Chain A
Amino acid sequence: MTVVFWLTFGMLAVAALLGTIRLLLGPSTLDRIMALELVVVLVAAGIAVGMAAMRDPANVTLLLVVALLGFIGSVTAVRLAEGMERHR
C-alpha cells in the first residue's frame, strides 16, 4: 500500500512541476492563472492522498478551505486580468 501512495505522490509532483513550467512559460496572464489553479488542485489532491496514507481524517477542513480558496482566488484573478487587458 505504501508503494501506491508514493506512486500517487510522484505523479502529483510531476504534474505540479509541469504546471509550474506552464506558469513560467504561459504567453498570456490567463495561461498563468490556469496553471496556478491546476497547481492548487494538485495540492488539494496531495492533502487527500496524505490523509489516505495516514488514515487520519483531521485535514478534511484544510482540504475544503484549499479547494474553495483556489476557486475564489482564480475567479478574482481572471476578472482582474480581463479588466487589465481590456483597458490597455
Chain B
Amino acid sequence: MTDVLAAVLLLSGGLICLLGAIGVLRFPDLLSRLQATTKPQTFGLLLVLAGTALRLPAEAAAGLGLVALFQVMTTPVFAQLAGRAAHRTGNVDKGVLRTDELREHR
C-alpha cells in the first residue's frame, strides 16, 4: 500500500518536472519561462520528496522535510529576484503587462 502511494507520488513528481521542462523550452518570453521553471522547483520536487520519504525510515524522512522546507522558502526568492532583474535589464516586453508595479517613478 505504501509502495503504491510512493510510486504514484514519484511518477507524478517526475511528470511535473518533465512538463515544467517542456514549458521552459517552449514558452515564448522570459517571464512565462520563469513561471514554468518554478513548477518543478516546488511542486515537482515536493512530490518526489514525499514519494521518497515513504520508502525511508522516519528519521531520514525528517531530513527530506528540511529539504522541502528550504526549497519552498528559496524558490520564491529566486523567482522574484530573476523577474526583477529581467525587468531592470529590459528583457520584459512592457506591452504585455497589465500593471507594472516595478515602474520607476520619476
Give me the interface of A with B, judged by CB distance under 8 Å.
1, 4-5, 7-12, 14-16, 18-19, 21-22, 28, 30-31, 33-35, 37-38, 41-42, 44-45, 48-49, 51-52, 55, 57, 60-61, 63-64, 67-68, 71, 74-75, 78-79, 81-82, 85-86
Contact = CB atoms under 8 A, between A and B. Distances in A.
Given A30-B82, A31-B30, A68-B70, A4 B91 contact: no
Contacts of B13: 8, 45
Contacts of A31: 30, 33
Given A38-B37, A52-B56, A82 B24 contact: no
Instruction: Say which size band chain B's interface belongs to.
Output: 35 or more
A1 B90 CA distance: 48
B81 A86 contact: no
Contacts of B7: 1, 4
Contact of B77 (A7, A15, A75): A75
- Chain A facing B: main interface SS: helix
